[in-house]
Copies of this chain bind each other. A is one copy, B any other.
């Protein structure tokens, strides 16, 4: 088994109202040192070893289902040998 960690973030040019709301709350709580907050998604996939080209498969899954490539960027890393 391999574990794949996928990080999905909004593109730089896209406004992040959820992040702005969280930053506003942090400021109200006294954390004035926080200058920016962006919120994204973090996905952990466990994938069986039988797949040959895991990189290509993960890219396909990201582009077809897991992310919206118009407004989101993604990157992922593959960890070896997860026991499940």
- A42 with B41: in contact, given A36-B84, A66-B22 (CB under 8 Å)? yes
A interface size (C-beta, 8 A): 34
Within 8 A of B (CB), among A7-52: 7-9, 19, 22, 25-26, 29, 31, 33-48, 50-51
* Shortest distance from the beta carbon of A56 to any chain B beta carbon, whole Å: 12
Residue pair B46, A35 in contact (C-beta under 8 Å): yes
Residue pair A35, B84 in contact (C-beta under 8 Å): yes
Residue pair A44, B48 in contact (C-beta under 8 Å): no
Binding site for B on A (CB under 8 A): 1, 7-9, 19, 22, 25-26, 29, 31, 33-48, 50-51, 57, 61, 64-66, 84
